[in-house]
Amino acid sequence: MSVYILGIESSCDDTSAAVIEDTTILSNVIASQKVHAEYGGVVPELASRAHQQNIIPVIDTALKRAKINKNQLSAIAFTNGPGLLGSLLVGSSFAKAMAYSLDIPLIQVDHLQAHVLANFLQKKDEPKPVPAFPFLCLTVSGGHTLLLQVNDYFDMQRIGGTIDDAAGEAFDKAAKILGLPYPGGPVIDRYAKEGDPRRFQFAIAHIPGLDYSFSGLKTSFLYFVRDHLKENPNFIEENIHDLCASIQYAIIKSLTDKLVKALKQTDCQDLVLAGGVSANSGLRDAATDLARRYRKRLFLPSLDLTTDNAAMIAVSGYFKFLKGDFVGVDAVPYSSERAK
Ligand code: KG4
Ligand code: ZN
């Protein structure tokens, strides 16, 4: 018998609901909040309010698109953290009330584990292979940068991570310095395609082990741009493609240097990318080269499943459903990464 899971995601600035049948997506609706663009970043209080406005229509649309009646649902999975507490409370409270009223199990999902498990989602009539445990996963998003050895669906060992900014944050802050809109990652990616990545060199932090640091890169980029603007007020406009290509190159080089180190240290056959920054075309190309060079199988989520979405919450819920791993209405949302 099929398992139908409704997934709800509201950890940051996307309100999303999805319905899956086992691991196959039936619907995945995402309402992105435009209200933050003019502030150059997410404003927590505005995010919570927008989630409140969006949550009912988004869930309703997800059920309709999936052609599923709420009484057919096997369970409801929701993001319980990490994220903005006010935002998490909207999704988690709704999930609790709905599961309680339907008298079906409630499943809490960790947002970062869900990014990884997005690689197990299937699209209708497009079957694709899935990674085999143990695999190495680079999770790169707006709030997190993690190197994980994934031994099982919920056994993810942190072997490295950022000691300051996340990779997505580095993209977003660099974009802000260049006067580009938020979120800056996709914009930098677009400009970089027509730029020379070797035109400007930015120092990459050398942190011991498998850890990352991006705050120095951001500062050196800020000073570099500021100094050039003093000599030429049109410096950004005249060099936007090369500036984007060069900063993107530095971020990717930092990510892939540690990935190579991790590949050598672990005994994983499969290499997996996850999170919003895994949409970056330069990073996808670099990972493809790496996998070829080190004879690994590479798994990349499809572009629509890299950034925040509820299908990844639903599929994590599915694997927990199979284990009977449920929570009560007293589950408390958390804001920070949980130690693995
Ligand atoms: O996973 P995600 O949607 O949210 C978090 O959990 O943080 O990631 C959002 C991040 C943002 O920093 C955004 O700039 C970045 O992913 N991003 C990209 C690209 N698409 C999204 N960064 C670089 N290149 C892209 N194409
Ligand atoms: Zn995310």
Instruction: Name the residue ranges covered by the structural domains of the chain.
Output: 4-121+305-323, 135-300
- For the chain, the distance separating the N- and C-terminal CA atoms, rounded to the nearest angstrom, is 33
pLDDT for 25 beyond 80 = yes
Tokens of 57: 């229509």
Q: In the structure, what pLDDT confidence band is assigned to residue 32 with cuts at 50, 70 and 90?
A: confident
Protein residue with least CA distance to atom 24, ligand 1: 280
Cβ 160 vs Cβ 258: under 8 Å = yes
Sequence-distant (6+) residues with CB within 8 A of 93 are: none
- Interval 232-254: pLDDT, tens: 999 999 999 999 999 999 999 99
Fold (topology level) of 4-121+305-323:
Nucleotidyltransferase; domain 5 (3.30.420)
* Fold match, 4-121+305-323 / 135-300: yes
The Cα-based distances of 23 to 14, 152, 248, 321 in angstroms read 22, 16, 34, 12
DSSP-derived letter for residue 181 is P
- Interval 119-158: pLDDT, tens: 999 999 999 999 999 999 999 999 999 999 999 999 999 9
pLDDT for 38 beyond 90 = no
Fold (topology level) of 135-300:
Nucleotidyltransferase; domain 5 (3.30.420)
Per-residue confidence (pLDDT) for residue 42, from 0 to 100: 82
Q: Quick check: CB of 214 below 6 Å from ligand 1?
A: no
Q: Quick check: CB of 275 below 6 Å from ligand 1?
A: yes
**E strands of 194-300, at which residues?**
270-274, 297-299
Identify the nearest ligand to the CA of 14 by its number. Answer: 1
- β-pairing verdict for 4-9 and 75-81: parallel
Task: Please state the rounded mean pLDDT for residues 268-274.
Answer: 97
Q: Quick check: CB of 141 below 6 Å from ligand 1?
A: yes
The Cα-based distances of 163 to 16, 124, 134, 183, 213 in angstroms read 29, 39, 25, 22, 6
Q: Which atom of ligand 1 is nearest to the CA of 183?
A: 14
Identify the nearest ligand to the CA of 276 by its number. Answer: 1
pTM as predicted: 0.95
